[in-house]
Amino acid sequence: MGALLATLVSAIVIPLPSHATLVANQAEYQQFAEQGLVTMQQDWWNPKTGWYDNRFPDDGQIASVWSSYPMMELIAAIAISDPTAANKALVNATFKAGEGFWDPTIEGAGGIAWQWGLTPSGNAFFDDAGWWGVAYLDAYRATGNSRWLYDAGRVLAYIDRYGWDTKNGGMWWDTGQNYKTSEPLAAATLIASTLYRIQHKKYYLQLATKYLTWADAATRNPKANDLYGRSATDGTVMDYVEGMMIDAHVQLCLGTKEQSYCNQAETIAEESLQQFPQLHPWTPEPDTIYLKAFLDLYAVDGNPNWYALAYENAEAAKDDARDDTGWWSKDWWGDWADPGVLFTPAATLEMFAWMSAAAPPST
């Protein structure tokens, strides 16, 4: 499917500099991402365990799924932006090691443990499974390695079998069924939609539409621009949930060739633009998930406003996220994040990598 024409005129227009400036910034982002990855590999990779440390200096803890997710995405995004043999090889090596999150003891059938190599892991979290599955889709995008589609498919089957409430709908947060939340629901919707676009299996389309039908009926919050709330009983809206829902609609638009899905993606994007602050609405980890969706939508409909939102946040990160040593240890507004933790610099560098992978609009 070729690029779709933008059907929505935004009420908020974000200015962009000249095309030449954008191209120069794109090269700068790639340099930041690739040089940063070298440092991340040196400081956080632990060859003794075969996975990343949670902190640098090492505090003895292996990185959790949430800490590892932006690091895995950084590696995939760099290979998408700069598809060298070495970059693709790093994706394949990292994601093969990342299969160590799979714990075969969960529910007696296997699922994602909250920490790498942990088995038996006890209570497991479906949002963790969602992040893991989304990352493997990007690993496939970077390498074309069908093994990563298998991993995304098996984690989706796990989420649907044990996370979905077959009686009342909605997605449980954990295997203990303590409460429901929209992060695993949105991630599962994105995984199913993307797998359908790639493989065109009816099963994946059925899952995606099942999740969307329930979410549209049960979680939309009319007091928050009709965005998706946290659950059927909690209307709190979160930027990364909206981002995954934008991206899921984009994938369905491409997979089904039905313009209505792209129209809905644009509507959610515009509603989100009005709902959330334009600059660093939350923290680098969820904000990067959110802004990547705008770049994916921009790649389909060509609306420069979506690119502009990601661009101004990347520029804010460039200006404010570095500490006195030059490292990306701060939030994008310059405040200190959790010192030494893996996910903060990984998320910022991931954002730069996605920006380097997106062709700037002509201005």
**Model confidence, pTM:** 0.97
- Provide mean pLDDT across the span 67-93: 99
Phi/psi at 55 (nearest 5 deg)? -140, 160
For residue 328, give Cα distances in angstroms to 39, 265, 325.
11, 31, 9
* pLDDT value for 1: 40
d(CA 45, CA 342): 10
The full length of the chain comes to 363
Asked whether residue 5 carries a pLDDT value surpassing 90, the answer given is no
* pLDDT value for 2: 44
- Summarised one tens digit per residue, pLDDT across range 147-158 is 999 999 999 999
- Summarised one tens digit per residue, pLDDT across range 231-274 is 999 999 999 999 999 999 999 999 999 999 999 999 999 999 99
Round the average pLDDT of the chain to a whole number and report it.
96
d(CA 238, CA 253): 23
CA dihedral 276, 278, 279, 281 (to 10 degrees): 10
DSSP notation for 45-73? EETTTTEEBSBSS--SPBPBHHHHHHHHH
Residue 1 DSSP SS3: coil
- Provide mean pLDDT across the span 205-225: 99
What does the domain layout of the chain look like in residue ranges?
19-357
Task: Count Cα neighbours of 360 within 13 Å in the Cβ-side half-sphere.
Answer: 20
d(CA 114, CA 100): 11
- Summarised one tens digit per residue, pLDDT across range 163-181 is 999 999 999 999 999 999 9
State both tokens at 206. 């059925």
Q: Name the pLDDT band for 202 (thresholds 50, 70, 90).
A: very high
Can you list the alpha helix ranges (DSSP code H) found in the chain?
19-44, 65-81, 85-98, 126-143, 146-163, 182-199, 202-218, 239-256, 259-275, 284-301, 304-320, 343-357
Nearest to 348 by CA among 361, 327, 358, 335: 327
Asked whether residue 144 carries a pLDDT value surpassing 90, the answer given is yes
For residue 282, give Cα distances in angstroms to 19, 176, 241, 285, 345.
28, 28, 12, 8, 15
d(CA 139, CA 145): 8
Q: 19-357 in CATH: which number?
A: 1.50.10.20
Give the relative orientation of helices 146-163 and 85-98 as an angle to the nearest 10 degrees: 30
* pLDDT value for 139: 99
* pLDDT value for 10: 77
